[in-house]
């Protein structure tokens, strides 16, 4: 298997690189019948790293990242569109992936129903999202809780959820019910990304500010994408990349669902 951690670290801030590298491994043993839809493809970076061949269609509502996705070559076709009104006929796709996207969509039920419409009966719908443990595991809010300051703890959770643009951090039970109402059944799910890994991601939002400065000034998250420059970062985060896939106390959940 390719070293997905390095492939992400050389292009992204380390906290995002770590999470995406862990997720990229999960797709390696999945068979995704074509045509494949990537719902919320963004700039296409993840698809070019996680998949050996271009996916059929990448859909996203944001024009600038979509242009980047088109240039990267991870899709045979990129389409500007919204998840609740996709420009495709009924039953067009044989499978769909949506990597760390659904948690950012306020009206998620409308998107799930529209996804069911464009998928063939029996098609796979593969996605991952932060789960019900995410907010309760954040280290700063837990520190305030231990000090007996629940107001500050809850304020921090709201703040972090806002900067993460999360609308849904739900349990498998909630997602299973939501999916069933939209025409899906969950075949399998597992938790991943341990509490320790989440703390690395949490603090990466603050320690990663130099990467943001590099992005604003030079158009690149990582100014020197060389192993000698990133060796310490790699050493710190690799143990979380190497965690077993099924983390019982994991803060994210990976789902494999099927269109009824």
pLDDT of residue 209 exceeding 90:
no
Tell me the C-alpha distance between 126 and 96, whole Å: 6
Q: What is the mean pLDDT of residues 197-223?
A: 91
Burial class (CB in 10 A: 0-12, 13-18, 19+), 79: middle
Would you state the pLDDT for residue 210? 87
Task: Tell me the backbone φ, ψ of residue 116, rounded to 5 degrees.
Answer: -60, -35
Would you state the pLDDT for residue 85? 97
Give the pairing type, strands 93-99 and 75-80: unpaired
**What are the residues facing 60 on neighbouring strands?**
80
Supply the Cα-derived Rg of the chain in whole angstroms.
18
Q: What is the mean pLDDT of residues 199-220?
A: 90
Tell me the C-alpha distance between 8 and 244, whole Å: 19
Would you state the pLDDT for residue 236? 95
pLDDT of residue 208 exceeding 90:
no
pLDDT of residue 212 exceeding 90:
no
Q: What is the dihedral of CA 10, 128, 123, 187, to 10 degrees?
A: 130
Mind listing the domains of the chain with CATH numbers?
A: 4-259 (3.40.50.150)
Q: Any idea which residue has 């690395």 for tokens?
A: 200
How confident is the model over 65-82, as pLDDT tens digits?
999 999 999 999 999 999
Percent of the chain at pLDDT > 90 equals: 92
Would you state the pLDDT for residue 215? 86
How confident is the model over 130-148, as pLDDT tens digits?
999 999 999 999 999 999 9
CB-based contacts of 75: which residues, under 8 Å, 6+ apart? 38, 41, 44, 47, 54, 55, 56, 57, 58, 69
Q: What is the DSSP string of 72-134?
A: HT-EEEEEE-BTTB-SS-TT-EEEEEEES-GGG-SSHHHHHHHHHHHEEEEEEEEEEEE-TTH
For residue 172, what pLDDT band results from cuts at 50, 70 and 90? very high
Percent of the chain at pLDDT > 70 equals: 100
pLDDT of residue 1 exceeding 90:
no
How confident is the model over 20-38, as pLDDT tens digits?
999 999 999 999 999 999 9
pLDDT of residue 10 exceeding 90:
yes
How confident is the model over 41-74, as pLDDT tens digits?
999 999 999 999 999 999 999 999 999 999 999 9
Query: How high does pLDDT run on average in the chain?
Result: 96
CA-nearest of 122, 116, 114, 157 to 138 is: 157
């Amino acid at each position: 298997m390719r070293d997905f951690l390095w492939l992400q670290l050389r292009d992204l801030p380390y906290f995002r690189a770590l999470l995406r590298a862990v997720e990229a491994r999960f797709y390696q043993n999945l068979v995704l019948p074509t045509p494949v839809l990537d719902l919320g493809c963004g700039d296409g970076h993840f698809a070019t790293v996680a998949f050996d061949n271009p996916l059929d269609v990448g859909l996203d509502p944001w024009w600038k990242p979509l242009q980047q996705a088109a240039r990267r070559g991870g899709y045979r076709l990129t389409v500007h569109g919204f998840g609740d009104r996709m420009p495709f006929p009924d039953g067009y796709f044989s499978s769909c992936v949506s990597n760390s996207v659904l948690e950012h969509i306020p009206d998620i039920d409308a998107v799930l129903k529209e996804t069911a419409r464009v998928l063939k009966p029996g098609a796979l719908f593969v996605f991952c999202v932060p789960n019900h443990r995410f907010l309760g595991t954040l280290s700063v809010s837990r520190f305030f809780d231990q000090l007996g300051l629940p107001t500050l703890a809850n304020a921090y959770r709201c703040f972090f959820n806002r900067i993460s643009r999360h609308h849904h951090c739900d349990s498998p039970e909630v997602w299973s019910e939501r999916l069933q109402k939209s025409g899906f059944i969950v075949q399998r799910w597992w938790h991943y990304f341990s509490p320790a890994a989440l703390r690395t991601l949490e603090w990466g939002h603050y320690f990663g500010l130099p990467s943001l400065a590099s992005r604003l000034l030079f158009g690149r998250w990582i100014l020197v994408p060389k192993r000698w420059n990133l060796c310490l970062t790699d050493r710190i985060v690799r143990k979380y990349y190497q965690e077993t896939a099924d983390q019982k106390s994991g803060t994210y959940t990976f789902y494999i669902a099927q269109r009824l």
